[in-house]
Structures are given as structure tokens and as C-alpha cells.
Chain A
Amino acid sequence: MKRFILLILSIAQIVLLTACWSSAPIENLNMEVAVALDAADESRIEEKFEAEGGDYSKRERISATYQFIVPQGAVGSKKEGAASRNFYNMTETGDSIFEAIRELSLRTNRQPIGHHLKVIVIGEKLARSTKLSELLDFFSRDNDIRPSVLVLVSKGKAKDVLNNVLPGQTPAFVLEGIFGNRNRSLRIWDPVTITKIVGPLHSKKSFLLQNVIAAENEMKFAGAGIIDGESGKLSGFLNEKELEGVVWLTGKGKGGVLKTHKDDTGRLITYEVKTMVSRIKAVVEDGQISFNVKIESKGRYAETFSTDGDRLDTAFMRRDAVELEKEVRELVEAVVAKMQHELHADVGGFGKSLRIQHPEVWGKVKDHWDQTFSGLPVHLEVKLQIEEYGASGTATD
């Protein structure tokens, strides 16, 4: 008898205590991979729903477009040719991002889950009018969504970025993947994740977010958007060239192209960047702050157009290096001028250098740093070194 009771108890234990309490089969889930946030602009479907009485009380402020992956199992094994897309987008308009995604529960039986969210793209119109901290609050608070989510801005409609893609690819993964090309181009900014955003947003520091634009059925990384520390909103853009200037200034580039035309002959030189280092030194003399920036880079000739077929000797290489140094200097000076006089925002890490090198001075100026920074002198020193010329030892014949 005792043994029997024990048996019943054990079985009860096994039934009651094992297995995952809140498991859900993957076919029943909608995996969010990207979110685009735009200023209110109802989609055609939503308008039709509303005409049929599908409306709820809200102030129309934000259009949130969610990109979902179509689970392989749900599609079945039949191949529908290359035209079939493995993602779909749904848009909801409202004032709460959280309510918007819950409103989607009225349109599909599959529960959206955010574990695999990769990117958030914010449209220019919305980013200029609403604080970034408000837009990202839900994403940095939710337990499903990881702080590793990338944040980008889009000059134009963010929604279009998620629509446009080559067949067989998913926009969310393309966006994430382009950051992997940082060893190829100097016009890609650091991937900024929520982890890296919470600090600057909380301390009212200005920072850059990669800008992405869409055309036809493609997308392109094009410069960067500036989030102004004081207002917490998007305050302007850097174009591709200006972004390249910031990359040189901060030494964050991992490789790419530097191109210049020689002053006297108009000859084109391209230089492939192998390494890049930048040091910003904050100098404080008699309470006057100034910055010395030292940029160093090593690389190789990628192209050395020339009609004479000269031997690439040391003197030749040095002359070209000087030309290239001038180009870098121009790039950096242009963007520093724009930061100081047009945007009034320090996104080049000058404040960081001052904070680290002169903490006591930083304590006095940090509250209105962006304004203070606008009037400070910046000295540049650029040193480029061409190390080799690839497999061809002469300039082009």
C-alpha cells in the first residue's frame, strides 16, 4: 500500500513538475526581426479596417511597421519560385508602440515575439519631432527584446527601408550585415545598439546613428543622423563624405578607400586603409580649452594613375602620402566646422577626451558642452604612411 502511494506521488510529481511551463511551438510565433518607426501615416490596409469599424482610441503619432519572418514550417515544402518572400511587414498606427504591437494580435493568430529583433529604423520626420528616449523606451524595457538591437535612422520613410530588398533576402538581416562591411568602407558608422544608446541618452550627450535610405528595391547606408544631446531629438545629418571625416577623426575605421586628385596634375590616387588610429588630446591652458588631434594611418596604393610609368620609389610615395594627408585634413576640418558652427553638437569624442584627461575641467563645462565646444580651437595633425604598392611596382603606363 505504502509503495502504491509512493508510486502515485512520483507520477504526480513527474506530471506536475517537469516540462516547460510556458512553451510555445515555433510555428505559432511571429518572429519580429525589424521595426520601422515613422510619423503617423496609416497604411491602406489600416484605412480599410477603420472604414469597416476597426478603430480604437488613440492619438495618431507613430506608425510602427513590424517585419516578421515567415517560419519555414508554416510555408510548407512547396517552392513558389524566387519571387516568394520570406518576410512580411505589418503596420499599425497609434501613439503607443507597445499598444501597436498588441493591436497586431487582432490581425494575426501568431504571437509576435521580440527575442530575435535585430534592427530598429526610425524615420526622419518622427525622429525630429519626438525624443529618442521615448521612442526606444519600450524596446529597452521589454524582457524579450535584447539590448543588442541595432538602431538606425532613415532620411525618408523608415518603412520603405524594410520594403526594399533584393529577392531572397530579408531587409533586417541585410541592414545588420552591412555593418560587417566596415573593413571595406569608411562610410559606415559604428553599429550603435541599445546598450550603447542608454548612456548618452541619459547623460544628454550628442551622438551619431547610421542613416539608411531606400530607392527602387534597394537600400543604402548614406551618412549619419545626429541625435542632439540637449533635445534628445534628431537635429541633422552628415552626408557620406562628412561621415568619412568623423570616422577619420575618431579613428574608428577598419579599412576602406581614401581617394584624392593630385593638385598639379589632377592625377587620381587611391589609398587602401589598413590601419587607422586617432588620438584627441585636450589641452587646458589658463582655463582655455583646445584640442590637438593626431591621426595616423598605414595603408597601400590601390590605384596610382599616372602616364609616365614611374618607379614607385620612396620619394614618390612620400609625395603622394602628403597629398593624401591633405585630403584627410580637408575631410576632418570640414566635419569639425560643421559640428561647431552648423550643428552645435560634438559627435567626434572631444568631450570624452576632456572628461578623461581633465576631469575637473569637464565637471565645469559638461552641462552645456555642445555649446561650449562650438567655440573651441581644434588643431589637426595627419600622418599617413604608404607601406606597399601591391603586385605592381610602377605607376600605370
Chain B
Amino acid sequence: MVTKAHDKITTSQATIIMVNYILVAGIFSLPRTTVQAAGTPDVWISIILGALCSMVTGVIIARLSQRFPGQTFYQYSTSITGKPLAVLLGLVIIGYFLAVSGYELRTMQEVTMFFLLEGTPAWAVAGLFLWVALYLCRGGINALSRLSRLVAPLAGTIFFGVCLLSLKVFDLDNLRPVLGEGLSPVWRGVKPTALTYTAGEALLFIVAFMDKPKRAGRVLVIGTLISMIFYLLAVVLTIGAFSVEGVVTRTWPFIDLIRSFEVNLLFERFESLLLVIWIMQIFCTFCISFYGAALGVSQIFNLKLDHCLFLLLPVAYLITEAPHNINNLFAFGTGLGNVAIVLFGLIPLPLLLIAYIRRAGS
């Protein structure tokens, strides 16, 4: 099968892959989407709760995958639900992975074309991205983990640096009062975090590559916690600068936050720097979900992974260009979040129970 002997990753490699998979383009609009839903500055609590929810569902998926060491979901689901249902479920998940990669790429495209490369045609931005992604994915999970390891520290450093500078426009009063309207707005703010957090699905195939699959749960929890810090900072600082009323008027509030100050430190403006590293970050997410989709096709239909990658590339591009305006894109994102809640929040638990009852797996 595709899982070659040398294609194993360590626990820390898996964690970094998880972090890179969880950190997505959603950070650009997260402050707005959560505040729109909640209407109070307390959404930072929603961000924490969102992380916890995602951990709970993620751990179930981790448990499920641990029962079948060395196997991906596409392979082991047959022994839980039987062939026809397993193929159907596999196809839905492949579709989801593809949709996520398309959505990420499109968001990246929108943001870069607006703030960074005005005048560069969309196909040129997407094309380069897709070809490099293809090249990387052909290298397998180890190539992905290497890229993630390369990008993560860089992204972290620049992100935290930029956040520190944005304290210039921060006003704590915009975040107060805490829980002024009680807990109900906080709950409303949790749902929009779904798309930015959903992480468990990557475990459906990553656990199969881990040299110590027993640690899948730890990988998920640590990965989610690290990502949570990024999201938390972005949301808190953005609301601190713009206030709740201001955040909702901004299309990409987090980028506007970085555009809100000028500091004379080597550079004067930092949004291009942030965008550049965040494009790499989105690239990682794209590659991981794209790889997950291709792996699924290859394992369900017994095709060579390389062929599947080539096969799915145009599909990913079509999904990328499908939303014809920005509202479609945002609706697409919300829809994806809803699908994720059903697909990875509700389904894994019954699957785990069936596997347990049927004594499938170890």
C-alpha cells in the first residue's frame, strides 16, 4: 500500500502538522465572524470554548483511529460499517477535504489580491500555489512535515512580533465589561469558530503514519492549544483596537489591525510580512487537506497516489474559483463549518461505538 516503511512521523512531527493544519485563513476574518454572532467583546471566551469543543470531538476521532494502527479511515471504515457505507462516507470526507483546500486557497487569493498583489490575475496566484502544492504532496507525509516544521517557527515569530507591535493601538476598555450580557452571547460566538478549529479530521489519516499512534490524543490536544493561542491573540487585539462596533465593519479585521499602525523598525508596515508568512501557513493547510483527499481516492479506488494528486488538482482549482463573489465565499465557509460539525462532531462517536461493539480493530 501507499504507507511505505520509511513514511513514518514522530509525535512532535505530527503535532507540528496539526498546528499547521489548524491555523487557517480564518484568522483574517475570525474576529468579525465571532463578534457578529455574539455581539459582545467576550468572544475571547468563545475562542477558548471552541478549542475545547474541537478537542473533545478530535479525541474521539483519535480514539477511533488508534484502534486501527497503520490504517487510514478510508481503509478501516470498511470493517466498521461495511463496504458500501464506508465508500460513501469516504467520498464525503474526500469532498470535504477538497472543499477545505479550495476555500483556503480562495480566501488566500482574495486577501493577497486585495492587499498585496493588486493587478496580478487570480489564476496566476492560484496556479503557482497549486503546482507547488502538487510537488510537495508527491513527497508524501514526510515532505509535508518538513515544510510544516520550516514554516511554523517562522510564522510564530512574525505573528507574535506583529501582535506585540499592535499593542500601540490596543485599548483594554474595548474588551470590557467581561460577561456584561452573561454567557449566552459567548455560546453564540462558539459556532463560527468551528471552521477555524476543526482539526480532528486530519487525524483520520495522520494517525496511520505515526510511529506511536497511542499519542494521537496528545498530538491533537497540544496542537489545538498552540493554535488557540494564535486565534486568541488575533481576536483580543483586533477587538482592542477597533471595538466591537468597529470590528463588524471590517471585511478582514485582523489584517486591518496590522495595517493600523506604523512603526519605524526596519520596516514601517508589517501587513505584507504577515501576509507572506500566513500564505505559507495556508499553503500547509491546503497541502495537508489536499493530500488527505488524494490519499482517500487512492485508497478507496486502489489507484497510485501520484495519479490521484494530478487528478484532483483541477478539481481543487474549480472549487477555488467557484464562489463568484465575496459573500458566496463567506457563505461557503459557514457552510463548510456546519458540515464539519456534523461530519466530525456527530458521526465519529457512533462509529467508535460500533467498532467497540463489533470488536473491530484492537
Contact = CB atoms under 8 A, between A and B. Distances in A.
The reply to whether chain A is a binding partner of chain B is yes
B24 to A, nearest CB: 22
Contacts of A359: 177, 180-181
Interface residues of A, number: 25
A356 interface: yes
A199 interface: yes
Interface in A172-204: 193, 195-196, 198-200, 202-203
Contacts of A77: none
A203 B245 CA distance: 6
B114 interface: yes
A21 B250 contact: no
A260 B177 CA distance: 38
Given A146-B259, A147-B260, A148-B260, A195 B246 contact: yes
Contacts of B262: 146, 148
B241 interface: yes
B119 interface: yes
B244 A199 contact: yes
Interface in A321-368: 352, 355-357, 359-360, 362-363
A22 B246 contact: no
A106 interface: no
B62 interface: no
B342 to A, nearest CB: 34
A199 B245 contact: yes
A193 B262 CA distance: 12
Given A148-B260, A193-B260, A198-B249, A21 B177 contact: no
A10 B145 CA distance: 27
Interface string B233-249: 00000000111111111
A353 to B, nearest CB: 9
A17 interface: yes
B128 to A, nearest CB: 6
Nearest to A140: B249
A307 interface: no
Nearest to B246: A199
Given A147-B259, A148-B261, A357-B177, A198 B120 contact: no
A342 B123 CA distance: 59
Given A146-B269, A202-B248, A22 B259 contact: no
Contact of B250 (A22, A198, A352, A362): A198
Contacts of A355: 177, 180
Interface range on chain B: under 10, 10 to 19, 20 to 34, or 35 or more? 20 to 34
A203 B242 CA distance: 12
B128 A17 contact: yes
Nearest to A21: B120
A146 B124 contact: no
Nearest to A363: B181
B49 interface: no
B117 A22 contact: yes
B243 A199 contact: yes
Nearest to B261: A148
Contacts of A352: 173
Interface in A140-156: 140, 143, 146-148
Nearest to B174: A199
Given A147-B260, A199-B244, A356-B176, A22 B120 contact: yes
B242 A195 contact: yes
Interface in B262-295: 262, 269
Contacts of B242: 195, 198-199
A21 B269 CA distance: 21
B6 to A, nearest CB: 28
Which residue, B120, B246, B259, has most C-beta atoms of chain A within 10 A? B246
Given A195-B241, A198-B249, A356-B177, A22 B119 contact: yes
Contacts of B176: 356
A22 B124 CA distance: 12
Shortest beta-carbon contacts, A-B, top 3: A22-B119, A359-B180, A199-B246
Given A147-B259, A355-B177, A357-B177, 9 more contacts: A22-B117, A22-B118, A22-B119, A143-B115, A147-B260, A195-B246, A196-B241, A202-B248, A359-B177
Interface of B: 114-115, 117-121, 124, 128, 169, 173-174, 176-177, 180-181, 241-250, 256-257, 259-262, 269
Interface of A: 17, 20-22, 140, 143, 146-148, 193, 195-196, 198-200, 202-203, 352, 355-357, 359-360, 362-363
14 contacts: A21-B121, A146-B262, A147-B256, A148-B262, A195-B257, A198-B242, A198-B246, A199-B245, A200-B243, A200-B245, A202-B248, A202-B249, A203-B243, A362-B180
